[in-house]
Structures are given as C-alpha cells and as structure tokens.
Amino acid sequence: MINLETPKKFRTFVDQANQVADNFLRANSRKYDLAEHSYPKELDLLASLIDGMSDSGQGQGAGAAGVRRDEDEAGKGKVKNGTNMSSVLSVIEMCWGDVGLLLSMPRQGLGNSAIASVATDEQLERFKGTWAAMAITEPSFGSDSAAITTTAVKDGDHYILNGEKIYVTSGERADTVVVWATLDKSLGRAAIKSFVVPKSLPGIRVERLEHKLGIRASDTAVILLENCRVPAENLLGSAEVDVKQGFAGAMATFDNTRPLVAGMAVGLARAALEEVRSLLDAAGVEIDYDRPAQSQSYAAATFIAMEADWEAALLLTLEAAWLADNRKPNSMEASMSKAKAGRVGNDITLRCVELAGTLGYSETSFLEKWSRDSKILDIFEGTQQIQQLIIARRLLNLSSSQLK
C-alpha cells in the first residue's frame, strides 16, 4: 500500500533542504535572475556539502538519482522509500527557493540522472563525481526524441559523433554532456543510444548561450559535435541494437527525470501559494475551508481551487517516485506527474500574479519571477502534449505507431 506522507526518516532531511533553499537559493534568487549567465559561486560550498553527505551515506538522495530495476532484490516485497523519493522531496524544497539555481548545482544535472539510470556498474564508478548535462533536443525537433539526427559511427574502439544540440541545461558549466545519437538511422528509434562525452575532447564545443524568459540563473547552451571521437566504453548501457525493445533503455532516463521536473513545479507553485496566502491575509481576505467555495469571495474561491490542484500534482509526483523506489513500472505515472505538475505550476503562478495585482507584476515580489520560471517546467523533459500522448498510449495499450 502506498503511503504518501513524508517518510519519517526523511523529515529532518526535508527540513534541512528547506533551510538551504531559504538561506542559499532564495537569498540569491533575484541577484542571478538579473545577472544572467553569471556563475553562482555561492553554490560551490553547497555542492561540496551535498557531495560530502552523499559520500558519507547521509545524503538520502540529495544528489541525482536513477531508476534501476535490475538491482539486488533481497528486499523484494518490502515497501521502500529510497533515493527517488528523497530526491523528489529535496527538489520540491529547493525549488521553493529557486529553480534556476537548483539547475545550476554542480554534479546534480539531468545528465547525472541519465547516467544513474542507464549506466553499467563499471560506468557508474568511472563517471562518479562528474557534472553531466543532457543533450537531446535538436533544431529539427523538440519533444520527439525518436527524431534524433545526431549520428554516432563506430570506428575501432571509438564512436565518431556529429550533430547539433540545442537547449542544453548547464551545457557550458558541466564537465561532460550525455549526448543522444543514432547508430543507424535506417533502424529507427531502436538505434538511439546515449553517450557520455567529456567536454575536454576535441570536436565538442559550446556555440552560444541562450537568453531566456525564466530560469535565468541556469546556463542553456547550443552544443556542436564535429567528428568528436568518443571512447566506445562511454556508450551508456548496451551497444546492442534491439529492434523489439526500441530505445526503451535510453527512455528509461525519463522515468526518473520527469518526476524530478514535476517536483520542481510543485515546489515553485507552493512558494507562490504561500506568498499569495500571506498577501490575502494581510488584505483581510478570509479563506474558510468549511464553506462552499462559491459562497466566498473570488480571491478565496480561486485560492482554494489552486490548493486542490497543487495537492493533486504533489500526490502524483510522490506516487511516481514511490513506484521507482519499489522497482515497479512508473513510465505512465512519471508522465502523469509531469503533465499535471507542469500545467498546475503555470496556472498557479500566473493566477497568483493576478491576485496580487500591481505587486505581483513588479520586482518588489518574487511572484513575477516565479511565473516566468514556471513556463519551462511545462516544456522540458517532454511538453504537455507529449505527456498526454504517452499517457493515452499506456491507457489504451497502443504503440507509438498506432497512436501518433
């Protein structure tokens, strides 16, 4: 049975994450929103602290976690709350502080989650300590990962990679980039693999940084690969092309990262709700949970509806993480949490700006910033439309070719 209360063993950890979010992230939130592309040096100390906690076993998933269902099953049958749950809880608290700064955390990139999910045990040890960005999107496509045109051609004990990747989070600051490429275009999505590409290698370069609406503290890069020779041992997982399996191995990454992005939206929306609740209280607006919403003021009724939506997003996100920790399939639930939380994050932050009036639109409050930051959470790791398509396929038991 799934219990979605915060596990007792994580409560102290969650409180600590909230304090970090308040004292490190929110305290520097406006500074790095205004100073786009400047590296947040304040994060170095925090990253070292998290690394130390993880090395000592006290981190409780503070770092990037992965969905691995081939691990030791000695505890099979027991309910677990492990690194996926603790990572989501941590992300919720940290994004209550600032989304862009969380995405700027050294060694906590989405590429690290890809490595954690797909890498072999040997690769996990070899890439330990790296800061990995993840490069999927290309100029010719957005959320359709199967449309990848970046190529990886085998040449002895290396692969030669050629292609262009856009919207790479932490693309400039990260040490390595997890690049998705195809081994053979004629074999379709089954030939898509992911490679760990150190940025020190010849043939990979950052072409430019993007100026963005939100998450301005985070660097978002365009990366070019021109005859970049990558050691064959840096291909994550198996090099075999299994036409029956498709690219399920590479896509397993999303079973972990989508609940994390959902957690980002949940944390950000909670921050906006708390801010507006404080403003409504100060304005004398009464919110009564014992009375029907339609019999209360517009502001009170709107707030109650937003809270209900937020609660639903939170529960879906925790469910997806719980399933991953207990080695259960969670692909549909991961997409459900991402779809719900991404949309809720947008709706809540924009409504909070409206409820706050002129204060919500000015830099006096974080509300305008949170509304800008929230938009990307409904887009990256698969847009709202892509998530709904995945959910429909799972519910109807149809393949991608049957339901497009």
Annotation marks residue 381 as catalytic = yes
Say if residues 269 and 281 touch (Cβ distance below 8 Å).
Answer: no
- Count Cβ atoms within 10 A of the Cβ of residue 200 and give its class: 0-12 exposed, 13-18 middle, 19 or more buried: exposed
The packing angle between helices 110-118 and 248-282, to 10°, is 140
Q: What is the Cα–Cα distance from 313 to 346, expressed in whole angstroms?
A: 12
> How far lies 122's CA from each of 256, 347, 357, in Å?
21, 44, 55
- Which two three-digit tokens encode residue 224? 């070019």
Name beta bridge partners: 231.
Answer: 158
Interacting residues of 127 by C-beta distance below 8 A, sequence separation 6+:
115, 119, 176, 196
Say how many C-beta atoms besides its own lie within 10 A of residue 321's C-beta.
Answer: 32
Among 319, 333, 368, 381, the active-site one is: 381
Q: What is the Cα–Cα distance from 119 to 265, expressed in whole angstroms?
A: 27
Interacting residues of 168 by C-beta distance below 8 A, sequence separation 6+:
133, 134, 135, 137, 177, 220, 221, 222, 223
> How far lies 130's CA from each of 116, 153, 194, 207, 271, in Å?
12, 25, 16, 22, 31
Active-site amino acid positions: 381
